[in-house]
Chain A
Amino acid sequence: MKSMNVAFDARGPELAAIASRARDGDVAAFRLLVERTTAALFRVALRTLDDRAEAEDIVQDSYAKAWQSMGTLREPGAVLGWLARITQNLARDRLRSRKVRPTTSLDDDERDTIAARLCSADPGADDVASDKQTSQFVHEVLSTLKDKHRVVLLLKEVDGMTAEEIGALLQIPTGTVESRLVRARGILGKKIQARGKKGWFS
């Protein structure tokens, strides 16, 4: 999949200069900073929450928080990571405040059928149809993963970001991104396999 370069489009000395001006209270620079980084923050929020409306709320709250604390930004060159960290923290708070796990319209028979297809030894099973039900099922399983695993997996597999880009965005080493990806895939596969045995993912 082609890399979307979402992280790297919003980096560089130019962004650092903009952040520096925004830190000094320049409203126009802050607006520009928001314009240049909204796409990246939205992805972080969306991949954490798996809900577009909530992700939009979190992005707005992130910039409000950033503007209030802008004067304490020490390294303008690291502003994207600083913003992404704020977004992640707010999104995690939102996750914790959710009372119930989001559910889909799938019933147990449908879940069993999809899980069986994904686990089949039939070589034809590799050609998994990207139908809506399978997608719903996979999102359902992903919602049971730790958010640190789910986020890197979705940024990589759905948004097409490289490990380096994800690391730059989330401010974690590339090696950590790669190890989380391996771990996340393993957990996801095992949870889907367990579906046929236990009837649920946790």
Chain B
Amino acid sequence: MSTVDPDVVARRALASLQAEGPAPAPADLAARAAAHALAQPRRPKGLLDDVVASVLALARPAAAFACGTALVLGAITLRASSDTAASGTASFAGAGALARLELIDADDVVAATLPFSLPGVGGSR
């Protein structure tokens, strides 16, 4: 039966790991990784990369505008009605727009691990 706060339990548990210390990478890992990577063919930048980049370039300011508008409208509504729900709605809309901003980042598209290959699109396996 536990008798202490979960946070205390967690701190005790984590204290037992601190003796492990930072894990250094193997000395030869960088050389091996570079050799392995450079043996791969470089994928030329494709037409779809440019299309995706153009769409994202347009979508980013649009999403930022939507986010800003939602926050401003929420604040105005809140001021006018003193309805706390308005703030929550605005925050939710703002958070949604911000999340979309993060999702549409072009580098995410490249970094995402896709389960299939598309010519001209990064992230294939």
Residue positions of A touching B, CB distance < 8 A: 1, 4, 6, 25, 27, 30-31, 34-35, 38-39, 42-43, 46, 52, 56, 59-60, 62-75, 78, 82, 85-86, 89-90, 93, 118-121, 125-126, 128-131, 134-135, 137-139, 141, 153-154, 157-160, 184-186, 188-190, 192-193, 196
Contacts and interface: CB of A to CB of B under 8 A. Distances in A.
A153 B14 contact: yes
B79 to A, nearest CB: 26
B16 A189 contact: no
Interface in B101-124: 106-108, 110-113, 122-123
Interface in B1-32: 1-26, 29-30, 32
Given A68-B42, A85-B111, A89-B113, A42 B23 contact: yes
Interface of B: 1-26, 29-30, 32-34, 36-45, 49, 53, 106-108, 110-113, 122-123
Given A39-B24, A89-B113, A189-B6, A67 B42 contact: yes
A161 to B, nearest CB: 9
Nearest to A86: B111
A129 B16 contact: yes
A130 B42 CA distance: 47
Give the most central of B25, B53, B106: most A CB within 10 Å: B25
Contact of A189 (B13, B15, B32, B123): B13
Given A138-B16, A138-B17, A193-B6, A67 B113 contact: no
B54 to A, nearest CB: 12
A188 B10 contact: yes
B45 A72 contact: yes
20 contacts: A34-B33, A34-B34, A35-B30, A60-B36, A62-B33, A71-B42, A71-B43, A71-B45, A72-B106, A73-B107, A74-B107, A82-B107, A85-B108, A86-B113, A128-B16, A134-B13, A135-B19, A158-B17, A185-B10, A189-B9
B14 to A, nearest CB: 4
